[in-house]
Amino acid sequence: MIYRNTWAEINLAAIGHNIRQLKETLPEGHQVMTVVKANGYGHGSVQVAKAALDEGINFLMVAMLEEAIELRNAGIRTPTLVIGRVPPIHARVAAKHDITLTVFDLAWLQEISEEVFEYPLSIHLEFETGMNRTGISTERQLREIVATIEKLDHIHLTGAYMHFATADEINTVQYEQQKEQYEMMLGALSKLYPHPLITHIGNSAAGIQYPKEMLQYTRFGVATYGLYPSKDIKELDTVDLQQAFSLYSELIQVKKIAAGECVSYGATYCATEDEWIGTIPIGYGDGWSRKLQGFHVLIDGKKMPIVGRICMDVMMVKLDRAYEVGQLVTLIGKDGDAMIGMSDVANHLETINYEIPCMLTKRIPRTYL
C-alpha cells in the first residue's frame, strides 16, 4: 500500500524503447547485457530486468551477489554476471543459483579450491586495461589463473571482459590503448584456453560511440534508463533515448506570507512582498538533497523555485499564485511542455545523472507504467 503522496513513476515502455534504439546501431547478431546493479539504477531491478527480457536481451549484470539473488528469487533465470568480488566462501551460493562470478586474482581461486560445490560455477575473467579498479594486469597472472582454473573441475571459465575509463569522452587515446591492451590479453587467453568464450568490453558510452567495435555483448546501464552517459555522447545524436524515471508529489499546504516573513530552518529565505508558498512532502530523508535549495519543481508546466532549507520530510516552493492542496508537482520528468531532466538535477548538485535515481531512497515508492 502507498499512503504517501510522493512517488516515482517508472515508464517501462521507455526502457523497451531505449533498448531497441541501442540495438539498432549495433551490428547484426550483437547482444545486449542489461545492467541492473544498484536496484536498476534506482528504477527497480526486477521490473527493469523483465522489461529488458521482453526486448529479447539474454544477459543481466549486477555488482553484488545479493542483487543477483534478488533476480533469481523473482523467478528470473537469465544468465547473470556479478562484477564485484564475491567473497570466496560465498561462491557456492552463486553456483547454486547459477550466477556467473567475476575472477581477477589467483588468491580467490586458491581459496575456492578448498570448497565443496554441489553445482558447477561459471566465471568470467576481468582484465585490467587502464581503469585500475579491478582486473588481471599481466600475462603472468593470467597464466597462473588459467592453470588453476584447469585444475578445478567445478569452475567453468565462460567469459572475459574489461571496462573503459574514458568512453564517455570523444575519441580518446586511452580508449584505444585500453582496447589494444584487452586484445593482447584476450589473444594470450585464447592460446592458454582454446575454448569459446563470451567477451564484452563496452558500457553505454562505448556502445553508443563505437557500436561497430564492441565484441559479443555490450553492457548497457545508464542508457537503458534513457540517460546519456555524458553531454559529449548525447551530442553525437545517434540514439534517441527517453528518460524512464519521473518523480511526482502534491502540494500539502498553500499559504500567503507577508513581506518580511521567512521560510524554514535558519530563516534563509524571506519574502520581499506578499507571496504564495507551497509545501511539498519530500526532503533529504528521501534522498532529496538539501543542496537542491535554489533548484525548482514544475507546477502547471511552470518552474517554481525551492525556497528556504529543505527539511528531512518536506520542502517549500514559491508559487506564482494560489493553488489547491493536492495540486500535482513534478520534481523530475515532464509537465506539459516543460521538463526536468535527470541531468538538470545532477548539474545543480554538481554530479552526474547516474547518481540521482540511486540517491532517492526506498522511502519513495516506485510505481510502474
Examine residue 251 and tell whether it contacts ligand PLP (CB under 6 A): no
Among 130, 221, 283, 333, binds ligand PLP (CB under 6 A): 221
Distance of CA 80 to the CA centre of its chain: 16
Chain position carrying cell 532517492? 360
H/E stretch holding 302 reads strand 302-307
The DSSP secondary-structure symbol of 136 reads B
DSSP 8-state class, residue 127: B
Tell me which of 229, 283, 333, 357 binds ligand PLP, using CB under 6 A: 229
Q: Is 243 a binder of ligand PLP (CB under 6 A)? A: no
222 binds ligand PLP (CB under 6 A): yes
Site for ligand PLP in 149-168 (CB under 6 A): 163
Annotated catalytic, 212? Answer: no
Quick one: cell of 22?
541501442
Question: Which of 126, 266, 130 shows the shortest CA–CA distance to 199?
Answer: 126
**Per-residue interface string for the shown chain with ligand PLP, residues 17-56, x marking contact by CB under 6 A:** ------------------x-x-------------------
**Listed residue (67, 107, 68) closest to 88, CA to CA:** 107
Q: What share of the chain is helix, strand, coil (3-state, %, to 5)?
A: 35, 25, 40
Query: Nearer Cβ to ligand PLP, position 160 or 329?
Result: 160
Stretches 89-97, 219-227, 251-259, 329-337: which one binds ligand PLP (CB under 6 A)?
Answer: 219-227
**Residues in 297-356 that interact with ligand PLP by CB under 6 A:** none
- Minimum CB separation from ligand PLP for residue 89, in Å? 23
133 versus 290: smaller Cβ distance to ligand PLP: 133
DSSP sequence for 59-78: EEEESSHHHHHHHHHTT--S
Q: Tell me whether residue 284 is one of the annotated catalytic residues.
A: no
- Enumerate binding residues for ligand PLP (CB under 6 A): 35, 37, 83, 163, 203-205, 219-223, 229
